[in-house]
Amino acid sequence: MSIRLCQECCQWVSTRGGRCPDCQDALPETINPEDSDSRFRDVVGQVQGRMGHVRVLRRKLPSDGVIYETVNGLFFLPYRTVTKCRLVEQSASSPMWSVAAVLWSPLMFLSPFLKRRELREKEFVEIEAIRLGKDDLHLLPGFLSRVAGAFFLPVRDIRGITENRGQWTIERSIGSKIRIRPIADGPFCQAIKRFAETRL
């Protein structure tokens, strides 16, 4: 099973036979992002603004990210995984001191004073939002082919949006329902309500 971008559905999907499970299009193993940028720019349209941070309830693909409203629909941009290095204080004493302290108990009382501490680089994996300022919103369509898990939902393919106990469900004319929860209190709930009332 592999994760590939369906250019017809404008979403990354998990596929077995090399076909999109929603539209049944054959999916190429690789795509050139530069070739698809202009197509996606036309499909997505001008970005109107950020709706909020959400969690898309799904498996195998990134779930946390930001939803943007565009003139043609909804765009989900997942958070990215970043590896960072930090300096961490660690014990630098020799393991021989520990063995000696076990064999000769008076040394155990001295060991806290004999332990050296040193700073070492350690790698951490963190998840962070891809921050786009107002001047960068025109770059959003390019992320569809570059960030696994990004997707775009055209207005014409959205049959309805409903809310139940803080979970929003987007019904599509083709494909399974998409379930979303806001990550934090914010403008998302008001923005999605307004979208459903004025755009559908």
- pTM, two decimals, is 0.81
Write the DSSP symbol of residue 136.
G
Q: Is the dihedral of CA 61, 66, 70, 74 positive or negative?
A: positive
3-state SS assignment for residue 1:
coil
Q: Where are the alpha helices (DSSP H) in the chain?
A: 33-44, 95-103, 106-114, 188-199
Structure tokens at 94: 């020799």
CA distance 65 to 67: 7
Regarding beta strands 47-56 and 80-91, do their DSSP bridges make them parallel or antiparallel, or are they unpaired?
Answer: unpaired
117 band by pLDDT with thresholds 50, 70 and 90 = low
Structural domains of the chain ordered from first start: 34-79+129-199 (2.30.29.30), 84-124 (no CATH)
The number of angstroms, rounded, from the C-alpha of 149 to the middle of its chain's C-alpha atoms is: 6
Q: What pLDDT shows up at residue 96? A: 61
- The pLDDT confidence band at residue 116, using thresholds 50, 70 and 90, is low
User: How sure is the predictor about 154, in pLDDT bands with cuts at 50, 70 and 90?
Assistant: very high
